[in-house]
A and B are shown apart, each in its own frame.
Chain A
Amino acid sequence: MQKDIQNSNAPSGANGYSNTTATLALAKASFRSIMRSPSAVVFTLAFPLIFILVFGFLGGGGTHIDVGITPGSDVNNPVIGMMEKTGMIRLVKDKTKAEFDKLLEKGNVDAMIDVHRKVNAPAYSVNVVYTSASRDKGGILKSVLNNLFYDKTLKPSVAEIRESTITGREYKTIDFILPGQLGFSLLSTGVFGTAFVFLSLRQTLVIKRFFATPVKRSSIVIGEGIARIGFALIGALFIILLGHFFFGFTLIHGAVTVVNMLLLATLGVIVFMGFGFIISGIAKNESMIPPISNIVTLPQFLLSGTFFSIEAFPNWLQPISRALPLTYLNDAMRKVAFEGLGLWDVKFQIMILLIWGIGIYAVAVKVFKWE
């Protein structure tokens, strides 16, 4: 009744209507609705978790061992020749000592080898440095070398093998897989979720009913956005914590790393939601959403380093990979999580995401439909 009296007395214009209240009411409603929608939960959580489980248990796929040859090492000797023949060992040459040290520390090379002819003797001395960042592969290399050492043809020429281990960070499969899955989860939530919601709100005339209230269009978009981002962040946090506590996902700076990852996730979802707005505008009905969304998500799923490092792709594919926004989100996530970089250190990746965001929203504003 209070309200009525106010209304009749107010001249015109503002009589206490709050856009914030309206926006938050929408965010709350939308969030409740998302939490009860099976498809949203499946896309955001179940899907990435399955991949994380699979890869978490399978461990690192095709085994090859990257062995760096210490600068100054003898290269034309039977030891290195035999190592090459195993087919399992990839030799990494032509890098400086400093570069090798970094690679070794991160586990990007699994060991360093240094071979020298012993003074006054025909035999060689082999010096191997392993890294704790890659214990599994170090172990394999060790047994390979032991076999070589006892190999009859080599035996006379190898005098000794000296081994040592440096401590580096252990880079596990999960450290690669989890950020990729997280990125993909954000992409699906942003694209599918947003596209479905806005198309269905438009088609079922929910939005039309909203327009009969004093709510602003911006409140509708922002309210939905808040709910979607909130949901995506809860999903992200869940994935990160599960990965950390059950699969040993590396969080170098602990909580700070998590916060940085969530900030990146927020930027990611906002950018990806733009695709969703566009798709909701061009799709004529709900059955058109999955195919159109897949055009956006599948290439990124495959080419943005979700499963494999994009360096593993053929050269002609790499420029495509490097054009996709998810590539940069994944990249930034990995750098922040594993290498412990701050957000400022991944400013290049953030900038590319922002450029994508501006482009996407420029299109979204043009093609988005309210009715």
Chain B
Amino acid sequence: METPKAIISVKNLVKKYDDFVAVQGLSFDVYEHEIFGLLGPNGAGKTTTLEIIETLRDKTSGEITVDGFSVDKQAQEIKQIIGVQLQAAGYYPNLNLVELIELFAGLYGADIKPMEMLEKVNLQDKAKAKYKALSGGQKQRFSIATTLINQPKIIFLDEPTTGLDPQARRNLWDLITEIRNAGTTVVITTHYMDEAEQLCDRVAFVERGEIIALDTPDNLIDQLVNSGFERKKEVKKANLEDVFINLTGKEWRE
């Protein structure tokens, strides 16, 4: 395998909120065209790290480059080549999805057809609906559509599947995989391990603002197994989620 090219490079990132150190010296690279997962419990510092890379928050110290641009001096250039889904974000009130996409097209200076964007995330039937009237899964798909408007090189998804039902979650995994297959690098945070195992090429475990492990899911599992670890209970060929999906069907529910 050729050596992968790092599109994001984070070195010794530190973020303090007053006295509280939320991120303590993170270093990692994200490779071009991969799905990179930041995993960790709530409060680990995932959102903080992401938003610093997205140039939305200031860092305390450290060095970050995104596609060669420095977050300190070239925030504007970075914003033009990334797509951002915030963990919690609202959309302009009283507008329907097409109008919201038009607004973002203007903000990015991108020349796109709103309906095509909605088709990419299978929301063409909701074109005239208001964001507020969407289901959880549809909201996340719409948010992802807004990250694609400027045809970004990298998209950041902060807990896109939190709170979704199993169908909507799987549906989103498919969408994210498609986006990556189209050549976009994806950085995603989650605290679901099954999701990371399915979706991510490499994952970093973040705990209290530090990276405690970083590798492919396969390697991490192998390392654990090689160290003599065994699950207490014999693993069955399916789990309860498989039963649920099997019973309720895999199709979209929204």
Binding site for B on A (CB under 8 A): 1-4, 7-8, 12-13, 15-18, 21-22, 24-26, 28-30, 32-33, 36-37, 200-201, 204-206, 208-215
B window 70-125: CB within 8 A of A: 74, 76-77, 79-82, 84, 86, 88-95, 99-100, 102-111
Besides the known contacts A28-B103, A209-B91, 15 further A-B residue pairs in the complex with CB atoms under 8 A apart: A1-B151, A3-B110, A28-B102, A28-B106, A29-B103, A30-B92, A33-B94, A36-B94, A201-B92, A206-B90, A208-B56, A208-B86, A213-B104, A214-B80, A214-B108
Contacts of A8 in B (CB 8 A): 153
A-B contact count (CB 8 A): 100
- In the complex, whether B190 has a CB less than 8 A from a CB of chain A is no
- Whether B95 contacts A29 by the Cβ 8 Å rule is yes
Q: Select the residue from A7, A24, A200 with max chain B CB neighbours within 10 A.
A: A7
Write the nearest CB–CB distance from B146 to chain A, whole angstroms. 8
If A17-B80, A33-B93, A33-B95 touch, whether A25 touches B88 (CB-CB below 8 Å) is no
- 0/1 string, B197-214, CB within 8 A of A gives 1: 000000000000000000
The CA-CA distance from A201 to B110 in the complex, in Å, is: 23
The CA-CA distance from A205 to B84 in the complex, in Å, is: 13
- 0/1 string, B223-247, CB within 8 A of A gives 1: 0000000000000000000000000
If A1-B151, A205-B90 touch, whether A15 touches B80 (CB-CB below 8 Å) is yes
The CA-CA distance from A132 to B89 in the complex, in Å, is: 63
Contacts of A21 in B (CB 8 A): 106, 109
Contacts of A28 in B (CB 8 A): 102-103, 106
A selection of 22 A-B contacts at a CB cut-off of 8 Å is A8-B153, A12-B74, A16-B109, A18-B109, A22-B109, A25-B107, A26-B106, A28-B106, A29-B92, A29-B102, A32-B95, A36-B94, A206-B89, A206-B91, A208-B56, A208-B89, A209-B90, A209-B91, A209-B146, A212-B84, A213-B108, A214-B107
- In the complex, whether B161 has a CB less than 8 A from a CB of chain A is no
